[in-house]
Structure 1
């Protein structure tokens, strides 16, 4: 899925639908999830196996990938990347920092949010009005789940650039039926090449019961409105 979505980007994608019978973890990684339930340990291990396979495609030797601040993965020097997992899907995307500034991916079940109140927590009135319109024109798409996923991808792209928290209310999403989205930052953004970044562009795809969203931020991001 993400391999299709990001085929034109300078990134390496590895994804899987299944957990291996005995997924490998470095001792430091095993310690990080020693108290977790089996499901969590398998997700943690499989997505790191995806990441190490992707890194191997860049010529990077296998290394532990430990959670850093706020759970963000600590990538080897010179690497940017993102990982995601949900029921029935795990994926990792990596790139050289000489090719890509930051990456954010997220996967979710392609179904409406289980709790309708969540939508009010993650969107503002402008977003909800736009989602309502999309729902009328394209009722087969779980737009509320997509906006949640896209905001997760925004955060994963944002955090490596800033080291700061970004709340759901701090970015406004504009989803399009053509499989793209734009995120406008409602707080001061990071400075890139002397210019404040005001938002991100991304893409989305739904297939076989899974929804994925992704942002690949180029080294010289174009202005959001272009």
Structure 2
């Protein structure tokens, strides 16, 4: 996964494990309303990665709180993103001097159900030479990652149709005029990183 990140962006992933909820700092635990143990474990795993990435750039013991919008709150001067599915957690962190904003998403490397794919894909999306079985899932993850990258900049709620993806050019554009660069990997999970300079 590190191979997909541009210079200055730290990324990490790990399998979600029993007991990962213990990685939540007390302030984080209080900011996350999820009561289901699986959700708290996933949040703990993602924040454990984020704490390690922040520590790598000299920021220690910073609680990554959940804002009312659901987005994580990063230290001043830092852009970051968290994601998880049922089995894996991922995080990305960078100084805003390197990357203005980041978004990351993780999905299982399986076909997206047809009814969801119909909501996600638009006629202007370009998938290029991507495996047709995984194209819908990659588009889904890419649009989620782009949304996470641009929401902190514009504070606009975007629908799937508001984000155009061109996987062959590794680019995305939004109806708000933002352009993001995309990078992704397919194994063992689909992980998409979106970043705005």
After superposition, what is the alpha-carbon deviation per residue over 1:159-216, rounded to whole angstroms, capped at 9, x for unaligned?
A: 111122111111111222xxx622122x233xxxxxxx4x2221111012x1011123
Matched, 1:151 2:143: yes
Contact 1:103 1:214 in 2 (8 A): yes
Secondary structure, aligned partner of 1:111: coil
User: For residues 115 and 76 of structure 2, what CA distance do their matches in structure 1 show?
Assistant: 41
Matches within 5 A, 1:208-223: 208=188, 210-218=189-197
1:104 is displaced (CA, Å) by: 0.9
Cα distance change on mapping 1:33 and 1:188 into 2, 3 Å: closer
- Give, in whole Å, the separation in 2 of the partners of 1:49 and 1:11: 17
**Distance apart, 1:142 and its partner CA:** 0.4
Q: Does 1:70 align with 2:69?
A: yes
Matches within 5 A, 1:96-175: 96-114=95-113, 116-127=114-125, 130-131=126-127, 134=129, 138-139=131-132, 141-175=133-167
TM-score (norm 1): 0.79
- Which one of the candidate residues 179, 183, 189 is aligned to 1:203? 183
Runs (5+) with no aligned partner, structure 2: none
> Is the alpha carbon distance of 1:55 and 1:35 closer, same or farther for their aligned partners in structure 2, counting shifts above 3 Å?
closer
SS in 1 for 2:170: strand
Q: Distance in 1 between matches of 2:116 and 2:51?
A: 34
**In the alignment, is the contact (CA less than 8 A) between 1:83 and 1:105 conserved in 2?**
yes
**What is the root-mean-square deviation in Å for CA atoms of aligned residues?**
2.0
8 Å contact 2:102–2:149 — kept in the other structure? yes
Contact 1:158–1:166 at 8 Å: present in 2 too?
no
1:126-162 Cα shifts (integer Å, max 9, x gaps): 43xx55x757xx44x5000000000001101101111
The alpha carbon displacement at 1:24 in A equals 2.2
What's 1:192 paired with?
none
SS of residue paired to 1:74: coil
Return the index of the structure with the highest Cα Rg: 1
